[in-house]
Chains A and B, each alone.
Chain A
Amino acid sequence: MALSRDEITEKVREALVDALGVDEDEVTPEARIGGDLGAESIDYLDIVFRLEKAFNIKIPRGDLFPDNILSSDEFVQDGKLTEKGLGELKARMPHADLSQFEQNPNVQDIADLFTVDMIVRYVESKLGGEEG
């Protein structure tokens, strides 16, 4: 019943291959959905729908790929995230590794946080945090 990390990774890989038309071996844990796998705006929604179906979960808007952080002055100044913005991002993406990003939080680099591994960890947390 409960899925292992490997099983989750395999289903995430399948969803990404179907949504993005990439080869299986391109879908490594560090691969960035945008930068490496070529995802564009509509693809993020495609990925969300496929993950919902594959894992029978609900992914509300902005939960997996927070897009609305960018629209507030509170969170963004001169192309960088403010303290508040960073705090908001951390709260929204507890499953992402922000240590590098924090050092120079450029808004345009947020997309680099969306890696295959980030998605696997998000799904894990939605399913109740199974250990691998």
Chain B
Amino acid sequence: MKFYLVDHIQELAPPDRIVAVKNLTLAEEYLADHFPAYPVLPGVLMLEALVQTAAWLVRVATDFEKTLILLKEARNVRYGTFVRPGGRLVMEVTALDIGPDASRFKAIGLCDDKTAVQARLTLEHTNVADEDPAGPEIDASLRPFWRRRFALIGGPRALENGQPGA
């Protein structure tokens, strides 16, 4: 499995809001364990999808400055409907605050217009150089990596569409 939980960015209005999508397909191997004969997107992967969506908003809002954007705290994560293969999770994330080192969000994931997951998220932003002597080189390769991924998931187009007069 590839640990990429955002397939496409639908809407992007930095620094406030982002909407993205994760498709769920039977081709995702871990579904064989979750659960046998009843495959559904695991709750923590719904949460990861929200986290990764929020992280994209941080990257765009801060011009890809920090290379490591990780979940610091999740609060009040509640689950509703299941997401089954052939379905998709639509992640809507609204930023409450985006600072240089941390950010906070309200996030919701919908499947067929029903709530599958909702959460309050705090993310922390660092560079590998902050904790590893080999950091600067790794950071230097990560920044273009994130920009390439951003293009892969339709980021630039979503950004363009979000501009006034688009």
Contact = CB atoms under 8 A, between A and B. Distances in A.
Interface of A: 20-21, 40, 42-43
Contacts of A42: 78
Contacts of A43: 78
Nearest to A22: B76
Contacts of A40: 78
A42 B78 CA distance: 8
A45 to B, nearest CB: 12
A20 B78 CA distance: 10
B2 interface: no
A16 B75 CA distance: 13
Interface in B25-83: 75-76, 78
B95 to A, nearest CB: 17
A35 to B, nearest CB: 16
A21 B73 CA distance: 12
Nearest to B75: A21
A43 B79 CA distance: 11
Most chain A beta-carbon neighbours within 10 Å: one of B75, B76, B120? B76
Interface in B126-164: none
Nearest to B77: A21
Interface string B112-125: 00000000100000
7 contacts: A20-B76, A21-B75, A21-B76, A21-B120, A40-B78, A42-B78, A43-B78
A1 to B, nearest CB: 34
Contacts of B76: 20-21
A20 B120 CA distance: 11
Contacts of B78: 40, 42-43
A14 to B, nearest CB: 15
Ranked nearest first, the 7 interchain pairs of A and B with the lowest CB-CB distance are A21-B76, A21-B75, A21-B120, A40-B78, A42-B78, A20-B76, A43-B78
Nearest to B115: A40
B151 to A, nearest CB: 35
B17 to A, nearest CB: 20
Nearest to A42: B78
Nearest to B120: A21
Interface string B75-115: 11010000000000000000000000000000000000000
A26 to B, nearest CB: 13
